[in-house]
Structure 1
Amino acid sequence: MHLTSGLDRRTPTSRRTLRARLPRYAAIAMGALALFGVLLALVEGGWGPLARLDHGWAAALHGYARQHTAWTASLETTTTLGCPLVMRTLLGLAAAWLWAIGARTLAGWTAAQALVGWGAAWAAKSLADRARPSWPDPVAHAAGAAFPSGHAMASAITAATLVALIWPRADRAVRITCCALGALGTAVVGFTRVGLGVHWPSDVLGGWFLAGAVVGGTTVAVELWRPGALSRDVRRVDWRTRPRVQSVLAAAVPFPELAPGTFEVEFDTRGPDGS
């Protein structure tokens, strides 16, 4: 999901772009919410294949973690770095910076991801009220209901939001790298919750589905509230940061007078005899 396709909403092109963009964001939100609803129904109904998958994976990973203390320690470190508090702090810092440079709508959109995500997770956990895995010799402990995983949800929302913010200023290679790192980080955080025995696999999957609904839903809400404002703020960020980026790049050139495009080289094509 990127936020760069909008133009000034006073132009016909902008209105056409907005009409084309909103259904896409709405489809993401509704599709993710529908998948979450189906998964919730299967969890609440105790669907056999899902229950067997949950218990099989959770038991196998918990058994491995119990026998390998170094592995367990690495999982605990990773899950701490990917906890909801850390993820929402990152979004809060990004929102504060955007607000400071004047991109107020984009700052509100970023902050809304954290706030709406927190509220949606709380509501979903209260609705499902699913018990966490219980082991005679647990390697980790967690409080509250299991479904959906707050860690998985918060990391997915944060990754999607930060990638969306980076996307406009990145080339193709950087975009692919950011998307890959975001997806990998989200997957690893979700895996740690099952590996530590504090969540079922379907809890993590539910967190990812609900994260998609939150990101898509908040984007639709902001676009309906202030059409085109997100795209204008993206251009504002580009305008405010470009001089600083260029000055940093210029400072990195050891001989500015020899920077590409600032001089022409004249080659002496005469022979040794001067002819």
Structure 2
Amino acid sequence: MDTTRATVTRQRSWRSRRLDPEHSLGLRLTLAAVAAFLVLVPFALIALLVLGAWPPLLRLDASIADAFHGYAQDHSAWVGVMTVWTHVFGPGPLRVAAVVVVVWLVRRGAPRLAIWVVVTMAAGGLLGALLKLLVGRDRPDLLDPVARAAGYSFPSGHALNATLAAGVLLLVFLPFVRDSRRGRVALWTAAVLVAVVTGLSRIALGVHWTSDVVGGWVLGAAVVAATAAGFATWRSGSGRPSARALREGVEPELADQRPEGGRA
């Protein structure tokens, strides 16, 4: 009886800690972890539908691809804009931008945040590459294509990496605009624009199916949510207060820190 009562007490204590917003592993961390899991659910569903070649999904993909391809063939300027965008915000340039941010964070005295950026970008990129091999989906095969791309199709690497980079940069730089509503709106708008338009550029150029791009967006969001939850745990372990990540970034103190060698 005493053993059972002690077990119930421990279980209640664990649950109360998970739901306590002031506890180091409290409400916000719990919600972040649950959010990461919930975002993975639609990705798993999309992946299963792609693997199973679900006819309604294939028809939807084909109809959207045909519509975009027809428009692209009649509008060369549109193709030019999409081509420039897809190269500027491709995985390579975005990874270079992430490296620049990592160096800047280290110089600013935020090595743990720099590690989070590296882990998020690397984990998402490796996961995307592995899933491409596992799923092995072919890219659209269109008559008179306006662009070409090598490799497998699902998930879209451009959509995935754009979402990773947009999420990372958003959560890193939000501390600098946390007191400005216009600043937050501008930063959020820029992040969403980069992720969305980069994904759409792949459909517009006929090198990805729509479900590839949606899968890339969802997977990228899930990876950012999961690593942000992990970073929150890391912060809690060092005794720092919990952060409202979507408003003030994953490390609000960043805006108050000075670069190495700078004056406080």
TM-score by length of 2: 0.81
Q: Where does 1:258-273 land on structure 2 (aligned, <5 Å)? A: none
> Secondary structure, in 3 states, of the residue corresponding to 1:240?
coil
Residue in structure 2 matching 1:222, options 208, 226, 231: 231
Give structure 2 stretches of 5+ with no counterpart.
1-19, 244-249
Give structure 1 stretches of 5+ with no counterpart.
1-12, 247-275
**Compared with structure 1, are the counterparts of its residues 34 and 14 closer, same or farther at alpha carbon in structure 2 (3 Å cutoff)?**
closer
Q: Where does 1:58-207 land on structure 2 (aligned, <5 Å)? A: 58-170=65-177, 171-207=180-216
Match of 1:7 in 2: none
Distance 1:17 1:141 in 2: 49
Match of 1:235 in 2: 253
Match of 1:53 in 2: 60
Give yes or no for contact 1:156–1:186 (8 Å, CA) kept in 2: yes
Distance 1:198 1:64 in 2: 15
Give yes or no for contact 1:148–1:204 (8 Å, CA) kept in 2: yes
Give yes or no for contact 2:147–2:205 (8 Å, CA) kept in 1: yes
Distance 2:36 2:183 in 1: 26
Match of 2:12 in 1: none
> Secondary structure, in 3 states, of the residue corresponding to 2:23?
helix
Give yes or no for contact 1:106–1:234 (8 Å, CA) kept in 2: no
Q: How many residues align?
A: 233
Distance 2:35 2:233 in 1: 16
> Secondary structure, in 3 states, of the residue corresponding to 2:26?
helix
Distance 1:82 1:28 in 2: 27
Deviations 1:50-87 (A, max 9, x none): 11110000011112112221111111001001100111
**Compared with structure 1, are the counterparts of its residues 111 and 237 closer, same or farther at alpha carbon in structure 2 (3 Å cutoff)?**
farther
Q: Which moved more, 1:215-224 or 1:46-55?
A: 215-224
Distance 2:181 2:45 in 1: 35
Deviations 1:198-255 (A, max 9, x none): 00000000001110121112223333345355869541542316xx8x9xxxxxxxxx
Deviations 1:9-56 (A, max 9, x none): xxxx98525412211221221111111100001111121221111000
**Compared with structure 1, are the counterparts of its residues 206 and 233 closer, same or farther at alpha carbon in structure 2 (3 Å cutoff)?**
closer
Which structure has the larger Rg?
Answer: 1
Query: Which contiguous aligned blocks of 4+ residues in structure 1 show a shift greater than 6 angstroms?
Result: none
Give yes or no for contact 1:131–1:146 (8 Å, CA) kept in 2: yes
Bigger RCO (CA 8 Å, 6+ sep): 1
Give yes or no for contact 1:131–1:145 (8 Å, CA) kept in 2: yes
Give yes or no for contact 1:104–1:233 (8 Å, CA) kept in 2: no
> Secondary structure, in 3 states, of the residue corresponding to 1:162?
helix
Distance 2:190 2:235 in 1: 31
Give yes or no for contact 2:145–2:206 (8 Å, CA) kept in 1: yes
Say what the alpha-carbon RMSD is for the aligned residues.
Answer: 2.4
Deviations 1:182-211 (A, max 9, x none): 112211111110000000000000001110
